[in-house]
């Protein structure tokens, strides 16, 4: 079997000159083979940048477009192809967008392998530990109390027993933050997990510690990215002295960044995004690092049903992969791009047993939202 083509498809709901919010654009890839098998992947990144990294012609030995590197190769040799892409894109890669592009292609290669061998990806990864995965729901707070109560009730009605809020200025005004958390905790009671996402908004370690003290009564399950991920000293102090579990890492890529993060910031939870950290292959290395450091891995995931499926297969095959993020986005790219989107049922996502990733794309939706620059 040989790779004969690699497509980088940019999808976007709003027009290019209109603002785009979370979940309203996507970069998906399709790897075509000479046997007719097609692998599907995606990255939650800047679509135009990733598309260029895939399609660019070669400049140097270590500055090559990823599409050209894959054409003619056997798609089943995933580890060798990952390292080939990593090394031969080194001048413009190693971290960030180039790893995002490699992530999408890696996911598509695993999809091909699963289809080729007639088994789900989780079988290729060593076998599933569970048939369903508990989910937590992420939401962006509304400006009013009634709206937030309604939103939280909607989450509980889906069977969720773990929720997270962040964005819309959360973390900027302690009085408003406390009021919001009071309302949410009142709605969910004591038994539902509640976590908050600061998106690196708190100013520095002393400020963050004071915020943690002021929010202690709300019994937070974790605090996500309380400080920017480069503030390793502040994050380590917070991990040590706040008495709360600190999480982060959704913007980090490769085992190398995660090793540094684990050693320097000492988070209780790391949150790699499978479409950014290096794909399914690299996620496995990052998972093992987390185990060695006594940290939990709870993946970040807020894009299309392709990301969701890749994350489900990975977690199913991970001994402690017990919690998944489930997007509450109503973007058509989340709700409709994958026709057989893995649903949330009683707060859980069932692990599929169809070959490969098992995702079927809506071709009409792709045509509708495809950007042709």
In the numeric block, which tokens belong to residue 236? 């380590």
Q: Tokens 């989450």 belong to which residue? A: 155
DSSP alpha helix (H) spans, the chain: 47-55, 66-70, 78-88, 96-117, 121-124, 145-157, 174-188, 205-215, 232-241, 254-265, 279-292, 305-316, 332-335, 363-369
- Binding status of residue 282 toward Mg ion by CB under 5 A: no
Residues with Cβ < 8 Å from 89, sequence gap 6 or more? 53, 62, 63, 64, 66, 69, 98, 101, 102
Contacts to Mg ion from residues 77-136, by CB under 5 A:
none
Residue of 33, 35, 34, 26 whose CA lies nearest to 8: 26
Considering the complex, what minimum distance in angstroms separates the CB of residue 271 from Mg ion? 7
Distance CA 197, CA 247 (A): 9
Residue, CB closest to Mg ion: 197
DSSP alpha helix (H) spans, 216-330: 232-241, 254-265, 279-292, 305-316
Q: Give 197 or 257: the residue with its C-beta nearer to Mg ion.
A: 197
x/- letters, 197..216, toward Mg ion (CB under 5 A): x-------------------
Q: Give 124 or 298: the residue with its C-beta nearer to Mg ion.
A: 298
Residues with Cβ < 8 Å from 13, sequence gap 6 or more? 20, 24, 25, 331, 332, 333, 369
Contacts to Mg ion from residues 161-200, by CB under 5 A:
197
Considering the complex, what minimum distance in angstroms separates the CB of residue 323 from Mg ion? 14
Q: Give 42 or 225: the residue with its C-beta nearer to Mg ion.
A: 225
Q: Give 201 or 348: the residue with its C-beta nearer to Mg ion.
A: 201
Active-site residue, 300 included: yes
Give the strand pairing for 323-327 and 132-139: parallel
Q: Give 81 or 163: the residue with its C-beta nearer to Mg ion.
A: 163
Distance CA 346, CA 342 (A): 13
Residue of 254, 280, 273, 252 whose CA lies nearest to 107: 280
Q: Give 52 or 323: the residue with its C-beta nearer to Mg ion.
A: 323
Q: Give 62 or 232: the residue with its C-beta nearer to Mg ion.
A: 232
Residues with Cβ < 8 Å from 174, sequence gap 6 or more? 211, 214
In the numeric block, which tokens belong to residue 124? 């290729």
Stretch of 148-156, 224-232, 282-290, 312-320 contacting Mg ion, by CB under 5 A: 224-232
Stretch of 4-12, 21-29, 98-106, 220-228 contacting Mg ion, by CB under 5 A: 220-228
Considering the complex, what minimum distance in angstroms separates the CB of residue 17 from Mg ion? 28
Residues with Cβ < 8 Å from 21, sequence gap 6 or more? none
Considering the complex, what minimum distance in angstroms separates the CB of residue 126 from Mg ion? 28
- The one catalytic residue among 100, 116, 300, 348: 300
Considering the complex, what minimum distance in angstroms separates the CB of residue 136 from Mg ion? 12
CB 159 within 8 A of CB 344: yes
Considering the complex, what minimum distance in angstroms separates the CB of residue 183 from Mg ion? 21
Considering the complex, what minimum distance in angstroms separates the CB of residue 251 from Mg ion? 9
Q: Which residues bind Mg ion (CB under 5 A)?
A: 197, 224
Q: Which residues are catalytic?
A: 300
């Amino acid at each position: 079997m040989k790779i004969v083509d690699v497509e980088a498809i940019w999808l976007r709901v709003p027009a290019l000159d209109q603002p785009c919010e979370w979940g309203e654009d996507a970069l998906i890839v399709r790897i075509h083979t000479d046997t007719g098998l097609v692998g599907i992947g995606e990255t939650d990144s800047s679509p135009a940048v990733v598309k260029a990294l895939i399609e660019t012609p070669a400049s140097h030995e270590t500055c090559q477009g990823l599409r050209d590197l894959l054409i003619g190769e056997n798609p089943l040799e995933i580890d060798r192809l990952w390292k080939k892409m990593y090394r031969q894109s080194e001048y413009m890669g190693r971290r960030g967008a180039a790893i995002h592009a490699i992530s999408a292609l890696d996911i598509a290669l695993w999809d091909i392998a699963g289809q080729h061998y007639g088994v789900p990806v989780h079988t290729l990864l060593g076998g599933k530990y569970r048939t369903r995965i508990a989910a937590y729901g992420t939401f962006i707070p509304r400006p009013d109390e009634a709206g937030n109560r309604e939103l939280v009730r909607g989450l509980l009605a889906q069977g969720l027993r773990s929720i997270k809020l962040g964005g819309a200025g959360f973390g900027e005004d302690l009085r408003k933050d406390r009021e919001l958390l009071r309302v949410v905790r009142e709605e969910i009671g004591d038994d539902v997990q509640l976590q908050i996402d600061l998106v690196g908004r708190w100013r520095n370690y002393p400020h963050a510690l004071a915020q943690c003290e002021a929010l202690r009564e709300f019994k937070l399950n974790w605090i996500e990215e309380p400080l920017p991920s480069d503030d390793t000293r502040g994050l380590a102090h917070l991990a040590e002295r706040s008495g709360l579990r600190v999480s982060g890492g959704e913007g980090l890529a490769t085992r190398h960044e995660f090793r540094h993060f684990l050693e320097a910031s000492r988070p209780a939870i790391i949150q790699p995004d499978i479409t950014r950290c290096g794909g399914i292959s690299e996620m496995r290395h990052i998972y093992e690092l987390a185990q060695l450091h006594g940290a939990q891995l709870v993946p970040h995931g807020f894009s299309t049903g392709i990301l969701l499926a890749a994350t489900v297969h990975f977690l199913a095959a991970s001994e402690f992969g017990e919690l998944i993020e489930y997007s509450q986005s109503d973007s058509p790219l989340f709700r409709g791009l994958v026709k057989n989107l893995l649903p949330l049922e009683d707060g859980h996502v069932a692990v599929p047993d169809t070959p490969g990733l098992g995702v079927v794309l809506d071709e009409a939706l792709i045509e509708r939202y495809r950007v042709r620059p």
